[in-house]
């Protein structure tokens, strides 16, 4: 993981510092409380940050198409369900093209 794009709900300095300590670049917009927050937000690479909206769109389509609940109880089976739903979505998109 090289970078993490998140919305303003994850705007916490402790979280940012933990990401940086692990070598992950946080792409999280700052909540604007002071003029320097605008400057922080201006330094974020828009091309990388905008990938977040693409991911959210795909997640939304998958949830609407296949349901938002997983039926498995164990985390590894839940992970398999999510991966399978994403794979089916990718196959559907490939067939459409």
Residues 7 and 19 in one domain: yes
3-state secondary structure of 17: helix
Based on the fold, state whether residues 10 and 57 are members of the same structural domain. Answer: yes
- Rounded distance between C-alpha atoms, residue 6 and residue 44, angstroms: 12
Mean pLDDT of the chain: 91
**Which of 27-41, 44-58, 74-88 has maximum average pLDDT?**
74-88
Interatomic CA distance for residues 56 and 62, integer angstroms: 10
pLDDT grade for 95, boundaries at 50, 70 and 90: very high
Q: Do 44 and 80 belong to one domain?
A: no
Indicate whether 52 and 7 sit together in one domain.
yes
pLDDT of residue 8: 79
One domain, residues 73 and 29 = no
Q: What is the pLDDT of residue 89?
A: 95
- pLDDT tens for 11-21 read 888 999 999 99
| Residue 60 lies in domain | 1-66
DSSP state at residue 9 = G
Instruction: Please report the pLDDT score of residue 86 as a whole number.
Output: 94
Say whether both 60 and 73 belong to one domain.
no
Residue 55 shares a structural domain with residue 79: no
Residues 62 and 27 both lie in one domain: yes
Identify whether residues 62 and 77 lie together within a single domain.
no
Rounded to 5, what percent of the chain is helix, strand, coil? 65, 10, 30
Counting every residue, how long is the chain?
97
Verify that 73 and 34 share a domain, yes or no.
no
């Amino acid at each position: 993981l090289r970078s993490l794009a998140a919305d303003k709900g994850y705007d916490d300095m402790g979280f940012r510092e933990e990401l940086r300590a692990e070598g992950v670049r946080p792409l999280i917009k700052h909540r604007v409380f002071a003029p320097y927050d605008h400057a922080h937000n201006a330094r974020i690479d828009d091309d990388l940050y905008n990938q977040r909206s693409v991911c959210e769109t795909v997640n939304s389509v998958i949830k609407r198409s296949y349901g938002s609940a997983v039926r498995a109880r164990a985390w590894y089976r839940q992970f398999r369900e999510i991966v399978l739903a994403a794979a089916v979505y990718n196959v559907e998109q490939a067939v459409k093209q």
